[in-house]
Amino acid sequence: MTDRKTDAFWALIDDFDTCMVVTRNGGRMRARPMAPRVSSERREILFLTESQSHKVDEIEADNEVAMTFAKHGKYVSLSGRARISGDRALVAQIWDSAAEAWLPQGKDDPSVVVLVVNPDEAELWNVKASRIEQAWEFAKAYIGDKDRPDTTTHQKVDL
């Protein structure tokens, strides 16, 4: 049985073309923009990358990752576990023209791998108010009518 919050999460992140993927590099956090390929059936977020990249080394040392998505008043933050897959069928399945631009060696080159993220939990924010409604909400909060502006829905989702 599917959960409405979980389904909403997968539908929402499928709308993003880019996200920031955060890994650990020793004791430091490192973020980089990547193009997600969302597989709601597999319950995974997939990225094409090169096996020699720093992120592969970082994930092999510590597979805990965080990801952030932002687009037109919609925001998602998630944490999960990552792994690297050299599955050629999976590479071919998610290959597209954008991948060709970043990975000119082609999908059949063994250095092209898939970074697979299995999300554990996520937080979703959706700015539901128009700019005028936002201004009104901020004004009410400023003059003390409200504790804080009511412009955004927020929910936590266990995946």
pLDDT in tens, 13-55: 999 999 999 999 988 999 999 999 999 889 999 999 999 999 9
- The pTM of this model reads 0.81
Q: Which two structure tokens, joined as six digits, stand for 82? A: 């990552």
Measured distance CA(54)–CA(23) in Å, rounded: 10
Q: Note down the domain range covering 63.
A: 4-158
109, 46 Cβ separation under 8 angstroms: no
Q: How many helices (H) and strands (E) does the chain have?
A: 5, 8
CATH number for position 54? 2.30.110.10
pLDDT at 140: 57
Q: Tell me what the pLDDT averaged over the chain comes to.
A: 86
- Please indicate whether residue 126 or residue 22 has the higher confidence score (pLDDT): 22
Measured distance CA(92)–CA(87) in Å, rounded: 9
Start-to-end C-alpha separation, the chain: 13
Tens digits of per-residue pLDDT, 50-76? 999 999 999 999 999 999 999 988 889
44, 78 Cβ separation under 8 angstroms: no
135 pLDDT band, cuts 50/70/90, is low
Measured distance CA(124)–CA(82) in Å, rounded: 20
Measured distance CA(76)–CA(3) in Å, rounded: 18
pLDDT value at 1 more than 50: no
Number of domains in the chain: 1
